[in-house]
């Protein structure tokens, strides 16, 4: 993991939740959608096809784990998963809880409208709840 | 794999390229973007967190393989990967070659503008080229 550092843009747009074996798990600061991002702690990584086979397996497990956590916590209609990176090239995977009444349904969340930040207290509380949900052994 | 059948909507919007161990690989009929979809051949599957661990590993390998094939064939700026399913619930993963000059850059492709079908001959030729690229042993 030598040399990994989080892109300034991802750092500014999201908050730390927990570290998993491969990815740092972060909460996007947009209260319109319960929205996690998973950032593999691998320096210079941009594309799925650049993952080692072992990392590709681990990433898929961590996507499933994030999705399962969102399902349990928010009871959404659907989970959306996406790795785009057209703007921020550092590889990051979005795992988002979607609802039929949300601000972008049934379209994708990216590029839709304007994000709405959490209140500080609400954000800290949700990060704590998600950490407890996603790391149940802690 | 008992009971798997492709959703009529996915069948109508895309063409068969090849079958991999887990997924059926199909070409989306939208010549604005080189766009594959991977459909796990598992009946009733909708969410990433419903995959078995073995299937989650295999899916991730097949996403990487599809991305690598698109990189080799089209030399894109970026690969986009997405599993949304808000409209078509059968699990399917989009793997799309993106270019800075394409019709939706840097936004996501979903829900952007109107798809443009391939001419029949061009579509059949591209499906054949992609099959050769993605299944190099055949």
Structural domains in chain B, sorted by start: 8-134 (3.30.428.10)
Q: Average pLDDT for residues B55-64, to the nearest whole number?
A: 98
Residues in chain A: 138
Q: Average pLDDT for residues B56-66, to the nearest whole number?
A: 98
CA distance B18 to A71: 32
- Mean pLDDT computed over every residue of chain A: 96
Q: pTM surpassing 0.80?
A: yes
**CB neighbours of residue A82 within 10 Å:** 23
What is the Cα A92 distance to its own chain's centre? 7
Query: What are the chain A neighbours of B67 within 8 Å (beta carbons)?
Result: 47-49
Is residue B62 scored above 90 in pLDDT?
yes
Q: What pLDDT does A138 receive?
A: 53
Q: What pLDDT does A136 receive?
A: 72
The shortest C-alpha distance from B125 to chain A (Å) reads 25
Is residue A45 scored above 70 in pLDDT?
yes
Rounded to 10 degrees, the C-alpha dihedral B101/B104/B110/B114 comes to -100
Is residue B1 scored above 70 in pLDDT?
no
Residues of B in CB contact (< 8 Å) with A are 46-49, 51, 53, 56-57, 59-61, 63-65, 67-68, 71, 77-87, 89, 98, 105-108, 110-111
- CA nearest B80 in A: which residue? A84
Query: Cβ B84–A85 below 8 Å, yes or no?
Result: no
Query: What is the phi-psi region of residue B15: left when phi exceeds 0, alpha when psi lies from -120 to 50, beta otherwise?
Result: beta
Is residue A122 scored above 70 in pLDDT?
yes
Rounded to 10 degrees, the C-alpha dihedral A107/B46/B23/B25 comes to -20
CA distance A138 to A135: 6
Q: What pLDDT does B138 receive?
A: 53
Q: What pLDDT does A13 receive?
A: 97
- Mean pLDDT computed over every residue of chain B: 96
Q: Average pLDDT for residues B85-101, to the nearest whole number?
A: 98
ipTM over 0.85: yes
pLDDT in tens, A53-111: 999 999 999 999 999 999 999 999 999 999 999 999 999 999 999 999 999 999 999 98
Q: What pLDDT does B3 receive?
A: 87
Proportion of chain A above pLDDT 70, given as a percent: 97
Q: What pLDDT does A67 receive?
A: 98
Q: Please, what sign has the CA dihedral across residues B71, B118, A86, A91?
A: negative
């Amino acid at each position: 993991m030598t040399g990994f550092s989080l892109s300034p843009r991802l750092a500014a747009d999201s908050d730390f939740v927990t570290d998993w074996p491969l990815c740092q798990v972060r909460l996007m600061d947009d209260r319109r959608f319960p929205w996690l991002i998973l950032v593999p702690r691998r320096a210079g990584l941009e594309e799925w096809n650049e993952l080692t086979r072992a990392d590709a397996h681990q990433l898929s497990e961590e996507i499933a784990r994030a999705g399962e956590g969102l399902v349990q916590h928010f009871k959404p209609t659907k989970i959306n998963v996406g790795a785009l990176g057209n703007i921020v090239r550092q590889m990051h995977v979005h795992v988002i809880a979607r609802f039929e009444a949300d601000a972008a349904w049934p379209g994708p969340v990216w590029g839709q409208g304007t994000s709405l930040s959490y209140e500080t207290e609400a954000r800290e509380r949700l990060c704590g709840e998600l950490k407890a949900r996603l790391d149940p052994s802690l």
